[in-house]
Amino acid sequence: MHYEGNIIRPPSEADSIILQVTVGCSHNRCTFCGAYKDEKFRIKDKSIVDADLDFAARYCRRQKRVFLADGDVLVLSQARLLEIFSRIRSKLPWVNRISLYANAKSIRQKTSSQLAELKELGLDRVYLGLETGHDPTLLLIKKGADAEALLLAGQKVREAGLFLSVTVLLGIAGVECSLAHAEATGRLLTAMAPNQIAALTLMLMPNTILYQDKRAGRFSMVDPQGMLRELYCLVDNIMLDRVMFQSNHASNYLPINCRLSRDKQDVLALIGSAIKGDVQLKPERMRAL
């Protein structure tokens, strides 16, 4: 398989065939993300993608899922996407799920009928990086969308019958707006009603604006206790009957894998115990992106 730059994929796609059809991120302005800072967004040549599909057809016959990389494949034209999806169906007929990252802008640019076309050809799961539902923080981190735009994008994915997985980022608002961020994010998630919520914890990368802001004293990192209080506030403000909630990414201090609202009180009790020091947190040396 032909890969360029950093290949980022969700934890749940660990066993998927990773088919890189773009390099980098079409937005690439978020102040906290350094994954693609040195990459100019570009679409990979069709011949390279076809060669990767031929490789997968020969050597990846046990893998039933395909994840399309990099940061925002949905930004491609509908014609190009339909071509890629059709080739996957033709060359990898045993594949039963195709997933990809998307942002609010690329989702809004697709019509409901276009999303339905992709679903018909195998698109099953869309990963949306929400980060926060707090508008002042969204503006500061240069997310490129406000809470309303993110809500409409998430609802559009759900209305198309696609599985929506949303990522939020503990600590992204700094100390000053920590709980305001958690509360607003919980409310937005409730309105969006995704199928899955994944909470990650902020870890600053040296090649990011936010890292430089911290060094200059313009951004105050939330400490582990503050991250737990954010997590408690976030879960407490999610009012959904049935959603997978996970904070089991390598960056998190307290691993959680549950279903809300079924496990909500147990999860809040666990977080409360961790805040009091009765539950051991993941050591810093074990945390990673």
pLDDT in tens, 137-168: 999 999 999 999 999 999 999 999 999 999 99
Nearest to 99 by CA among 33, 1, 17: 17
Any bridge partners for residue 244, and if so which?
196, 259
Does any domain span residue 3?
no
Average pLDDT over residues 182-207: 97
Average pLDDT over residues 198-219: 97
How many other β-carbons are positioned within 10 Å of the β-carbon of residue 263? 15
Domain that holds residue 273: 11-286
Is there a contact between 189 and 197 (Cβ–Cβ < 8 Å)? yes
Say which CATH number the domain at 216 has. 3.20.20.70
Give the model's pLDDT for residue 138.
98
Residue type, 39: E
Quickly list H helices, 1-130: 46-59, 78-91, 104-109, 112-120
Residue with tokens 């360029």: 4
Does any domain span residue 4?
no
The answer for residues whose C-beta is within 8 angstroms of residue 203's C-beta and 6 or more apart is 251, 287, 288, 289
Does any domain span residue 112?
yes
Which contacts (CB < 8 Å, 24+ apart) does range 120-123 have? 121/82, 121/85, 121/86, 121/88, 121/89, 122/66, 122/85, 122/88, 122/89, 122/95, 122/96, 122/97, 122/98, 123/85, 123/98, 123/99, 123/162
pLDDT in tens, 244-279: 999 989 999 999 999 999 999 999 999 999 999 999
Q: Is the pLDDT of residue 39 over 90?
A: no
Does any domain span residue 2?
no
CA distance 280 to 259: 22
Find how far residue 73's CA is from the centre of its chain: 13
Give the model's pLDDT for residue 289.
80
pLDDT in tens, 66-106: 999 998 899 999 999 999 999 999 999 999 999 999 999 99
Does any domain span residue 220?
yes
Any bridge partners for residue 43, and if so which?
22
Does any domain span residue 1?
no
Give the model's pLDDT for residue 5.
86
pLDDT band at 6 (very low <50, low <70, confident <90, very high): confident
Give the model's pLDDT for residue 179.
98
Give the model's pLDDT for residue 248.
87
The answer for residues whose C-beta is within 8 angstroms of residue 111's C-beta and 6 or more apart is none
pLDDT in tens, 162-191: 999 999 999 999 999 999 999 999 999 999
Does any domain span residue 244?
yes
Give the model's pLDDT for residue 99.
98
- Structure tokens of 177? 């707006």
How many domains, the chain? 1
Any bridge partners for residue 127, and if so which?
101, 165
Does any domain span residue 6?
no
Nearest to 13 by CA among 66, 53, 49: 66
Find how far residue 99's CA is from the centre of its chain: 12
CA distance 204 to 212: 9
Give the model's pLDDT for residue 73.
93
Q: To the nearest whole number, what is the mean pLDDT of the chain?
A: 96
